[in-house]
């Protein structure tokens, strides 16, 4: 297990010179570290410059301006989902490992000439510490090509649509090199399906696995993790839900006055009974209750926990 090394940084304040410390992660060998999303962006990327001369920003940006001006930049943002109509690619990782991987994958996707848009990654929590396997700088250099400036006349709408097939292509390359999947959806089929993203679906999948091991669940239950919101992976979601009779969508972001963000999109493409729960941070106890609730649901509803 590696730790973030603290290195001195000289800060001049008038005539006074002070020494601060900044976190820097070693990129010479592949290591397993415990890091937060903020540390991945601010130290792992910025200090080491692992993504060659690119910028990965953790925090708010003027996404609409970046989209209009066709700026390919990776942005890790706790409010990424709220920009779903701004003209950008939006992904929703379950873990910090997926977030770390998506920074590199997002760089290659956003810089494709047919895309050339901001690539937003929904951050589960800037302060959440999880184990992350960090690839070497050499491996990343081979995965991310040298950037070449280009002119593009592809509009934002077309560019967002183009991003899906391009994402698939680079995700397959990533999986072959690093043995980690970043597919736009991941699911286990069942008659009653819980659909979600980020930390919530991570909790739901763990509760599901425990219930399977205890022989409490059969084929009646399943779950689906949606890793991409824009472009919306319609065909992949339809295939995952083709045998589902009931669906419960768990959202952490809400379209105020209507329903959850993911539910709003999914409902347009699923004709079965579909309900929605909006919750900021789902506990294991709450997740377990959702399975029982879904099975007994007879009508559609939208509510906040």
Residue ranges in the chain modelled with pLDDT below 70: 1-29, 31, 41-58, 126
Q: Which residues pair with 224 in a beta bridge?
A: 187, 195
Exposure string of 153-164, with b = 16+ CB inside 10 Å and e = fewer, is ebebeebbbbbb
Tell me what pLDDT residue 39 has.
Answer: 74
Q: For the chain, give every domain's residue range.
A: 30-178, 185-304
Tell me what pLDDT residue 29 has.
Answer: 65
Domain 30-178 has CATH 3.40.50.970: yes
CA distance 248 to 237: 14
Q: What CATH number belongs to 185-304?
A: 3.40.50.920
Neighbours of 2 (CB within 10 A): 13
The pTM for the full model equals 0.87
Report the DSSP pairing between strands 130-134 and 221-226: unpaired
Residues, the chain:
305
Q: Which of 175, 149, 159 is nearest to 119 (CA)?
A: 159
Please tell me if the domain spanning 30-178 has the same topology as the one spanning 185-304: yes
**How do residues 168-223 score in pLDDT, each as one tens digit?**
999 999 999 999 999 999 999 999 999 999 999 999 999 999 988 887 777 889 99
Q: What are the counts of helices (DSSP H) followed by strands (DSSP E) for the chain?
A: 9, 15
CA distance 301 to 13: 58
**How do residues 225-251 score in pLDDT, each as one tens digit?**
999 999 999 999 999 999 999 999 999
Tell me what pLDDT residue 6 has.
Answer: 36
Report the DSSP pairing between strands 246-251 and 192-196: parallel
Angle, vertex CA 185, rays to CA 179 and CA 191, nearest 5 = 125
DSSP per-residue codes, 132-199: EEEPPHHHHHHHSPPP--------HHHHHHHHHHHHHHHHHHHHHHHS----SEEEE--SEEEEE-HH
Tell me what pLDDT residue 32 has.
Answer: 76
């Amino acid at each position: 297990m590696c730790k973030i090394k603290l290195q001195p940084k000289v800060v001049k304040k008038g005539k006074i010179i002070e020494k601060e410390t900044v976190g820097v992660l070693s990129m010479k060998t592949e290591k397993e570290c415990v890091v937060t999303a903020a540390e991945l962006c601010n130290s792992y990327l910025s200090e080491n410059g692992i993504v060659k001369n690119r910028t990965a920003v953790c925090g708010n940006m003027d996404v609409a301006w970046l989209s209009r001006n066709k700026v390919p930049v990776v942005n890790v943002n706790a409010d990424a989902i709220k920009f779903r109509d701004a003209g950008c690619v939006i992904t929703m990782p379950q873990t910090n490992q997926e977030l770390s991987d998506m920074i590199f994958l997002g760089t290659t996707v956003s810089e494709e000439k047919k895309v050339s848009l901001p690539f937003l990654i929904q951050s589960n929590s800037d302060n959440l510490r999880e184990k992350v396997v960090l690839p070497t700088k050499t491996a990343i250099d081979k995965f991310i090509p040298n950037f070449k400036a280009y002119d593009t006349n592809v509009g934002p709408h077309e560019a967002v649509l183009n991003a899906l097939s391009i994402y698939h292509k680079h995700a397959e390359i990533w999986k072959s090199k690093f043995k980690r999947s970043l597919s736009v959806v991941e699911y286990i089929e069942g008659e009653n399906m819980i659909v979600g993203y980020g930390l919530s679906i991570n909790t739901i999948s763990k509760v599901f696995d425990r219930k399977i091991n205890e022989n409490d669940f059969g084929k009646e239950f399943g779950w689906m993790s949606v890793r991409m919101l824009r472009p919306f992976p319609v065909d992949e979601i339809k295939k995952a839900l083709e045998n589902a009779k009931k669906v419960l969508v768990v959202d952490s972001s809400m379209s105020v006055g209507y329903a959850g963000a993911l539910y709003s999109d999914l409902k347009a493409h699923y004709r079965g009974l579909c309900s929605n729960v909006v919750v900021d941070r789902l506990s294991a106890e709450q997740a377990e209750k959702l399975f029982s609730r879904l099975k007994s649901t007879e009508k559609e509803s939208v509510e906040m926990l």
